[in-house]
Structures are given as structure tokens and as C-alpha cells.
Amino acid sequence: MSQNRRQFLQQTTGIAAAGLAAPYLFTSAYAAQESKNDRHTIGCIGTGDRWKQIINGTKPFGDVVAVCDVDRGHVEEGNRIAAGGKAEMFEDYRKVLDNPKIDVVTVVTPDHWHSKIAIEAMQAGKHVYCEKPLTLTIDEGKQICKVQKATGKTFQVGTQQRSEMSGVDGTGKRYPHQFLQAVGLAHDGRLGKIRRVECYIGGAPTSGELPKIPVPDGLNWDLWLGQAPKVDFIGNLPADGKGFGQSRCHYEFRWWYEYSGGKLTDWGAHHVDIATWLIGMDHSGPTTVKPVMVKHPVEFKNGYPTVNNKYNTAAEFEVQCIYPNDVELIIRHEPAPGTNRPEGNGIWVEGEKGTLFVSRSKLMGPAAEGLKENPLSAELLMKLNKGKKPGANMAGTNPHMYNFFDCLRNGGMPTSDVHTHHRSMTTCHLANIAMRLNRPLKWDPVAEEIVGDSEANGWQKREQRKGFEIKA
């Protein structure tokens, strides 16, 4: 394997030296060095809809030997998709971690399960690919960072905007990796000093009162809840009987603070991550977080919803965050009326030398248009990408997953590492705490503590149901 590794390094180094004239150049270097004995042995924990979107990027690098889900339908379908029905199937994720032959796990569960599974996976000697948002609380992020440092395991977070996408500027020219390009423009000084960044992340849905209904066949509801309080299964199932409709479960868990953080941890995990990277604060955090406006679908008292059978995450909101470098970050459900942004989901940047807008479909502004004549250097983009060539890939895979397995094989930190992700998620969690308590917060990004508000500081953690505690 050492000879294959040297060949791989020689090939990828040559690509890097050639610069980024062809940013989407795919390389089969990884595939060329593969032999049966080189392939990773993979266990998949959580095999619902989101997992289906990442498994095809995983299979080229290894063999799935175990699939796990608390929904029997999910695990059976996952087995067919990932392993042609040949993998072991489990309801309890610990069975996957107990297999010493498995060296990589994917964690694609509801948010409230991410931290416990990821921590125990690293402690069991596994490398981890975990979907965003990595955590439900700030304290969970601290625990994950601690365990990753202690174990040295490679850990990639599924914030794919750091690796993928391409956008069109105002002249119609398409730029690969537009989020990385936007960050590069800021770090190269082409926007001047950044004054203000606005993240538009969409509003959350609301629901009517959801009645208690029987737990659907094949779902272990108690295990699905995990650390969260034990409650009845509630929901409105579709008339055709397919799916879960409005409920506490599967995709809809996002709209309950018990299991997620609404749009702040859904789309915020993507756009706030890019924004803090862009302003050079992805290893720090804000000093103040102020809820300018928030509309929850239910009434709150002392930070808790007073109604327990309706969606409860913020439907509309505006939060102001001030960083140590005096940059103002605004997080809104949509652009403020009259601002005329190119679209309602993306990141708006204001600097002394001009403005920039970046989204999953656009990269716009004078600085972006200037890339045609004056592209960013390959050295800068590789530095921002932690020394890896942006977009390096092999046919049939996505760059984000390739980056993860490249780091496994050749060392280095993944482009979406747990430490910077913890920092961006801290901002999102602080915003939710401020909105739930309806008051501004002061944050010490060095000590990672809320200053002068012991009640709010207690919200860094959550009560853990007995038998499901995290042990880091």
C-alpha cells in the first residue's frame, strides 16, 4: 500500500502544481491505486432519505458491511441500496461499532443523535462522516472536539458547500466552487474590510395541533427518541398512508427544538459556516448575539414552548451577531423588504470595496466578475481548502466525500472539520438560545461561555434521558 500511496501523492501533487485552470478536473488516481485489500469497510448508521443522497459517493471507496436504522423499512431498503442485500442489518447502532473490521461509519440520523453516535464511533476506533448539523447543543460540540483530538480520527462533516456547487456571475459565466471562490475573494482583500454579512436561510413551517396516533409499524419510537424526553407519537399521516406527513419523526423532526434547531441549524449550518469562514472567524465566535425579531408558532415561557403538540422552532426571525473583528452578521429567514437581493437564499457580503452575493446557483458582484481577468491563485484556494486541491475527485463520486477518504489515506484535515463546524454551529445555537429567551447574549469566544447570564449559559447543555447519556 505504501507504493500505491506514493503514486497517489505524485499524481495529486502534479495536479496541484498545474493550478486551477480546470477546477473540475476529475482524477482517477484514487481508483487507480485501489485493490480489494485497500478498500475501507463501512458501516452506515441511519439510512433514511438523506443517506440515500450520500451513499453513492461512499461506495466507490469501500464496502458497506452493516446498515443500521430504528425504522425497519429504512434498514431493509438501505441494505438493498448499499450492499445488494448482503450487509448485516441492525436496529442498535452499537452493533455496528462493535465490529472491529469496520473502520469508517456514516452517521445520517436525526440531529439529536449525531453527537452520541459520533463520539462513541471515534472511541471505538472508527473514522466518521456525519451529516450536519453536527450537534444539538454547544456543549456537544465541545465534547466532539475533545474526543477527536484525543483519538486523532478523521472526521468530515456533511457541509458540502465547502467542496461542491458552481454558480453563475452577473455576466453568465459559471464558476466552480463558488463558495470557496467567495471566501477567497474576501481573504485576498478584493472586497476590502468586510463590514456586514447577511445569511438568508429560509423560514420554518408551522403546524396545527397534531393528535396522538399509534407508532407506525417497524419504527422503534423509544430508540428514535434516544436522549430526548419520552413522549407520545403524534402526527397527521397522509391519506394515502405513505410517509409520516406532519409529525415529530423523520424529516419533520427539524421543526422541534427537542430534536433540532429549525432553520438555524438546517440551512444555518451551511450558510453561517461559509459566512464565518469568509470573515476569518471560523476558529472564534461572536461577542454579542441579539434577537431583532422572532416569530415562534407557539408561545414560549422561560425558553420552553407552552404547547407540546405543534411545531415549535422559529418560523421567521432576524438575529444580529457582532464578531471580535467588528463584522456584523445578520441571520434572517429572508432578505429584508426592499433590499432586492438576487434570490431569497444565500449570503450577501458588504465590504469597503464593494458587495458580493453567493448562493448555490450564483456568484455575483464586481469582485466576482473580476475573476475572469484576475483569477484567484491556486495557492490561496488550496490553503483555504487545508492544503487539498479543491474539487479533486474520481468519476462517479462527489468532491466532499473524496476529500474525506483522501484525508483517511494520505493525512490532513478534511475541508469541513469538526472544530470549525463547532464554531459556526455555536453561533447558530446561540441565536436559538437568544430567540427562545428573547434577549441579547454576550459570548466569550475564548472561554466559550455566555457572560453575565447564568440561566442562558445553562442552555449550552440539555437534559439527557437516563440510559442515553453521552460519555466523552
Residue 226, domain member (yes or no): no
Bond prior to 440 in cis (omega within 30° of 0): no
Do 195 and 298 lie in one domain? The reply is yes
Q: Based on the domain organization, do 59 and 89 belong to the same domain? A: yes
Which pLDDT does position 395 carry in this prediction? 59
What is the distance between the alpha carbons of residues 446 and 52, in angstroms, rounded to a whole number?
A: 38
Does residue 80 lie in a domain region?
Answer: yes
* CB contact burial 247-277 (16+ within 10 A = b; e otherwise): bbbbebbbbbbbbbbbbbbbbbbbbbbbbbb
Are 261 and 325 contained in the same domain? yes
Residues 6+ apart with CB under 8 A from 472: 119, 143, 144, 146, 147
Number of domains in the chain: 2
- Do 129 and 175 fall within a single domain? no
Are residues 186 and 306 both part of a single domain? yes
Domain assignment of residue 221, yes or no: no
Based on the fold, state whether residues 119 and 183 are members of the same structural domain: no
Domain residue limits at 142? 2-164+386-414
Q: Is residue 47 part of a domain?
A: yes
Judge residue 17's burial from the number of C-beta atoms within 10 Å of its C-beta, 0-12 exposed, 13-18 middle, 19 or more buried.
exposed
Is 185 a member of any domain? yes
Quick one: 112 and 174 in the same domain? Answer: no
> Is there a domain that residue 242 lies in?
no
pLDDT of residue 245: 80
With respect to residue 456, please indicate whether it lies within any of the assigned structural domains. yes
Let me know if residue 470 belongs to a domain.
Answer: no
Backbone angles phi, psi at 351, to 5 degrees: -125, 170
Do 160 and 171 have their domain in common? no
The CA-to-CA distance between both ends of the chain, in Å, stands at 34
Could you tell me the three cell numbers for 216? Answer: 407506525
Kindly report the three-state secondary structure assignment for every residue of the chain.
CHHHHHHHHHHHHHHHHCCCCCCCCCCCHHHHHCCCCCCEEEEEECCCHHHHCCHHHHHHHEEEEEEECCEHHHHHHHHHHHHCCCCEEECCCHHHHCCCCCCEEEECCCHHHHHHHHHHHHHCCCEEEECCCCCCCHHHHHHHHHHHHHHCCCEEECCHHHCCCEEECCCCCEEECHHHHHHHHHHCCCCCCEEEEEEECCCCCCCCCCCECCCCCCECHHHHHCCCCCCCCEEECCCCCCCCCEECCHHHHHHCCCCCCCHHHHCHHHHHHHHHHHCCCCCCCCCEEEEEEEECCCCEECCEECCCCCCCCCCEEEEEEECCCCCEEEEECCCCCCCCCCCCCEEEEEECCEEEEECCCEEECHHHHHHHCCCCCHHHHHHHCCCCCCCCCCCCCCHHHHHHHHHHHHCCCCCCCHHHHHHHHHHHHHHHHHHHHCCCEEEECCCCEECCCHHHHHHHCCCCCCCCCCCC
Say yes or no: 397 and 274 in one domain: no
Mean pLDDT per 10-residue section of the chain, whose length is 472 residues: 34 31 32 61 96 90 97 97 97 98 98 98 98 97 98 97 75 80 98 98 96 94 97 85 80 96 97 98 97 98 96 98 98 95 95 96 93 95 93 74 94 96 98 98 98 97 93 82
Same domain, 270 and 329: yes
Which pLDDT score, from 0 to 100, does residue 158 have? 96
The CATH number of residue 288's host domain is: 3.30.360.10
**Is 451 found in the same domain as 425?**
yes
Kindly state whether residues 65 and 136 are assigned to the same domain: yes
Which CATH number goes with the domain that contains 11?
3.40.50.720
* Predicted local distance difference test score (pLDDT) of residue 38: 79
Which cell numbers hold the place of 218?
A: 417497524
Instruction: Return the half-sphere exposure (C-beta side, CA atoms, 13 A cut-off) of residue 101.
Output: 10
